[in-house]
Structure 1
């Protein structure tokens, strides 16, 4: 349903709600022809995604088209979204087209909101979902009916919460709570009460998330108490109950009640798994892992951290606050002396950062440009009508100051992160002696698992040592086959020796040599610090700038351009 939390699958309740709402809301504009209702009665008892419904739905669609009744055609396509197994987006687009032909702005807004929900719940396309929500907002902002406006407002609040604007999001959810609470009381149709109860409970959940992020424990406990008393004790609200169990677990974790937190998380998981709500499932696994870590049960902690990674691999989505999941895994395997696992989770962390930064940059820009600015202009217009020009300027100035403050904070935080990465690289340079590579030749080691004659191994070790000393690795287009020919051996022998004596495959071995070479040149040679990244990449044996920059970042933890800037600044400050 439209208020199901952040990233779960679309559920039958959501689409049933949308369809029911559309039919009630626009009952004045549709034909009284009983045929439409007859069609709907024939298929409405089918489960979501049951394509048998299309025996009657196709008739419904054709009939509405023949009558050019675009409000009913819109309703038919909305129903088709529910029962379609794999063409929901197709019917969402058709619903938009029918709504536009009807000329009803409320219908158009509702259609875009539905398409956003499909992106949001079915496809996890957060950015595309936001586009649809903002489009829906343009049509619904002047609607006399408040329900669609609050549906849209709720989703904008979720985006703000995801971006970390918890104070702003909290105000939105407070509005939603007030609206939905009013509409679950009184002499109302049971379906209206049901759907507003869903909206009320999910708005409570989102408000709890914001309070937890802001560290307001008493407010969290207060809302959890309200939620426990307000959540109906039947199967229709199992998911909402799971959300509150999850939130209670986070609260217990915050209070250092780790066994209680683990119990709460275990109670939350079945309901979340039933609808495959992978985002909150990964959230629960992370906090279970954290709870076990606090209890000193490291292996159980790692088991849960790995489940988070498994979910990320499958869905390529993760909440920003789960980033430290990978820091814990990297630290664990570093202490265990397992470089392969350490490298794997380091690469995973880079992927996580890429996903988060991509979403954050896009969503933040659109929220402020397309939503908050629009809201501000509406406030400005209303105030100008009452000759409150001075107050409008004050509001605008306040928003500008807040925005500039955010940008400054973001920039300072980014610079701090770069400095930390630079400092770590300096330690690595000292420890690994990148600045002064060792020249001692490789020696035969009987403990190595190389099933070759000793004379062959010794020759290859000598060749490799000379290869490194003479910096032959800078040759572009170097392959294992070319190097084997150069050493007058075969690729199998050479690959075995490199894997055992260098601890990596040929590609990684060459990249490490080249990056170490570039690192020491940038660190020691002022002329290199004047070169362009393209020039440095080429001089280090790489075919292009992007490949060099990506591998430099992967190995050194910092981009080459930032390393150069920091090194120059360090030397200037030391003069």
Structure 2
């Protein structure tokens, strides 16, 4: 499906460029020569960006909005970071609206939806953009484009669990692409329409499977395999049908065949980095091994699902029970630490599922639900602690000479571990629970000369300042902030003291340390930064000041927290590097 979408984007870019040939030859050739520098590069190759910036700058100078759109589209294609792609997508929408051409505006919204879908897996946001694109394309006569858009909306609806709605969308697109593929036309157009048809019936098979209508699903799988297996051109589509065949074989308890089918399809799916479907393949291979009584092999594949979750912070409801299997596996092995680790991972996975798949999450059968998981987690912590103390007693009895050293070392270790877990719980709770409102009125006793209207205005500005991370500005003083707020700094510090319960210096320190702590916990790249880089990232001027504030606010040294977090994520061998600012 991703390969099909990429092909569509490239085709769209080609036809868009061809539509510009009506301009004079000299103007066209300048843009053409700029694009010639990078059009042969691979997707996400940022070497193209230096030329793309020149292309965009030229289009802006000349107010050539059609070429400007092309430049932004190229920016989306060649940027390697999701944040950059999203910025280029927003710029594409802006430029397209300047043309007042509904088809170009529609295509721009489509591109932004694609970024949300593939780069962020934010299905609701992607669907919003697709709907906007569809509204602008209502009167378009480009029926291929319209059906691609309907297809994309269907895919998002399917992921979100709206299977009946997405089925109707896929029926529409499958009929269109099948009909178009039979018309006498250029081989490339026939090829594109056939791929659209195969992708549509694959998605229909997925919907029928999730609705429990297995005969209909199996029938479409058989059609798809028959029509794609004889041509190398459709090996990507064949792999997706083979994936569904493997799931069908698992359902029919043909576990060896399921493992073979799923292993055979993963190479093609991995080639387009479709990690969502990869996790489904890993999951069903693991379940097949488990059904065959091969628990060790099953655990290997379940852990591969977790590795994708750790890397992308993404999980499908369909694979949640892998964590339950891992917890039971390590419970049988009496490995408390691994059991505890995957209990924590399941708690985190549930947070993501409740955020991204509210409808589906409520329908999942959960052997381990959140209250039980939390109770189990606490119990495991006690067991781990008890195990440590038992070991300590044995050591004390066998060697009284080193008694003092062992007690001191163990107590320090427990203290650090406790501090780490307390901080971890603080971070996780912050994710799960809604933030309190900061707009509660303040009594005029703060300063009887401050009008209530000014108090309310400053409170609103403080809330925006916190939400926009304005506190990471280095060297920020109360006077600087008061100037930004267009107010008296004495008013500002007085209101901060009353509303936040601390003076301005402590208030700024808490905001900065909480910000960088969350970054360290949730974003792996920050664990490779040096302490001085981390200090710079959150606006603190020196390494020593950063270390002191981190320890005071979090109750644990920054280096200790980073080391423990790196160990939890299994990348202790990664070097600590200085990141240029």
Note whether the superposition's TM-score is higher than 0.5: yes
Asked whether 1:202 is paired with 2:148, we answer no
| Contact kept? 2:225, 2:242, Cα under 8 Å | no
Asked whether 1:82 is paired with 2:77, we answer yes
Equivalent residue for 2:394, pick from 424, 448, 469:
448
Find the residue that maps to 1:183 and give its secondary structure: helix
Find the residue that maps to 1:130 and give its secondary structure: helix
Equivalent residue for 2:163, pick from 163, 166, 177:
166
Hey, what's the Cα distance between the residues in 2 that align with 1:242 and 1:211? 18
Find the residue that maps to 2:181 and give its secondary structure: coil
Shift of 1:319: 0.8
Hey, what's the Cα distance between the residues in 2 that align with 1:224 and 1:279? 20
1:48 corresponding residue in structure 2: 43
TM-score (normalised: structure 1): 0.61
Pair 1:494–1:122, CA change in 2 (3 A): closer
Higher Cα Rg, which structure: 1
Asked whether 1:270 is paired with 2:249, we answer no
Hey, what's the Cα distance between the residues in 2 that align with 1:507 and 1:80? 45
Find the residue that maps to 2:301 and give its secondary structure: helix
Hey, what's the Cα distance between the residues in 2 that align with 1:48 and 1:424? 42
1:179 corresponding residue in structure 2: 176
Asked whether 1:111 is paired with 2:28, we answer no
How do 1:137-152 and structure 2 match up within 5 A?
137-152=134-149
Shift of 1:35: 5.3
| Contact kept? 1:250, 1:287, Cα under 8 Å | yes
1:303 corresponding residue in structure 2: 300
| Contact kept? 1:288, 1:301, Cα under 8 Å | yes
Q: Over residues 280-321 of structure 1, what are the superposed CA-to-partner deviations in whole Å (9 max), with x where a residue is unaligned?
A: 111111100011111111111111111111111111101111
Hey, what's the Cα distance between the residues in 2 that align with 1:422 and 1:209? 32
Higher relative contact order (CA closer than 8 Å, sequence separation 6+): 1
1:229 corresponding residue in structure 2: 226
Q: Over residues 350-372 of structure 1, what are the superposed CA-to-partner deviations in whole Å (9 max), with x where a residue is unaligned?
A: 111110110124xx6xxxxxxxx
Pair 1:337–1:66, CA change in 2 (3 A): closer
1:13 corresponding residue in structure 2: 7
1:73 corresponding residue in structure 2: 68
Q: Over residues 22-47 of structure 1, what are the superposed CA-to-partner deviations in whole Å (9 max), with x where a residue is unaligned?
A: 457xx4x9735445765558464444
| Contact kept? 1:4, 1:14, Cα under 8 Å | no
Q: Over residues 182-206 of structure 1, what are the superposed CA-to-partner deviations in whole Å (9 max), with x where a residue is unaligned?
A: 2222233333333323322221211
Hey, what's the Cα distance between the residues in 2 that align with 1:506 and 1:57? 51
Hey, what's the Cα distance between the residues in 1 that align with 2:373 and 2:337? 20
Find the residue that maps to 2:261 and give its secondary structure: helix
2:323 corresponding residue in structure 1: 326
Q: Over residues 198-243 of structure 1, what are the superposed CA-to-partner deviations in whole Å (9 max), with x where a residue is unaligned?
A: 3222212111111111222222222122212333755553322221
Hey, what's the Cα distance between the residues in 1 that align with 2:225 and 2:369? 44
Equivalent residue for 2:340, pick from 343, 350, 354:
343
2:121 corresponding residue in structure 1: 124
Hey, what's the Cα distance between the residues in 1 that align with 2:394 and 2:188? 72
- How much is the aligned-residue C-alpha RMSD, in angstroms? 4.2
Pair 1:188–1:350, CA change in 2 (3 A): same
Hey, what's the Cα distance between the residues in 2 that align with 1:124 and 1:103? 30
Hey, what's the Cα distance between the residues in 1 that align with 2:28 and 2:45? 19
Q: Note the residue ranges of structure 2 that are not aligned, 5 or more in a row.
A: 383-387, 424-581
1:525 corresponding residue in structure 2: none
Hey, what's the Cα distance between the residues in 1 that align with 2:308 and 2:377? 32
TM-score (normalised: structure 2): 0.61
Pairs aligned (count): 411
Q: Over residues 88-119 of structure 1, what are the superposed CA-to-partner deviations in whole Å (9 max), with x where a residue is unaligned?
A: 33432332122100001121111011111122
Shift of 1:62: 5.4
Hey, what's the Cα distance between the residues in 2 that align with 1:250 and 1:304? 15
Shift of 1:18: 2.8
Find the residue that maps to 1:159 and give its secondary structure: helix
Hey, what's the Cα distance between the residues in 1 that align with 2:39 and 2:244? 35
Pair 1:110–1:150, CA change in 2 (3 A): same
Hey, what's the Cα distance between the residues in 1 that align with 2:144 and 2:260? 37
| Contact kept? 1:22, 1:107, Cα under 8 Å | no
| Contact kept? 2:228, 2:235, Cα under 8 Å | no
Q: Note the residue ranges of structure 1 that are not aligned, 5 or more in a row.
A: 365-405, 435-441, 461-483, 512-575
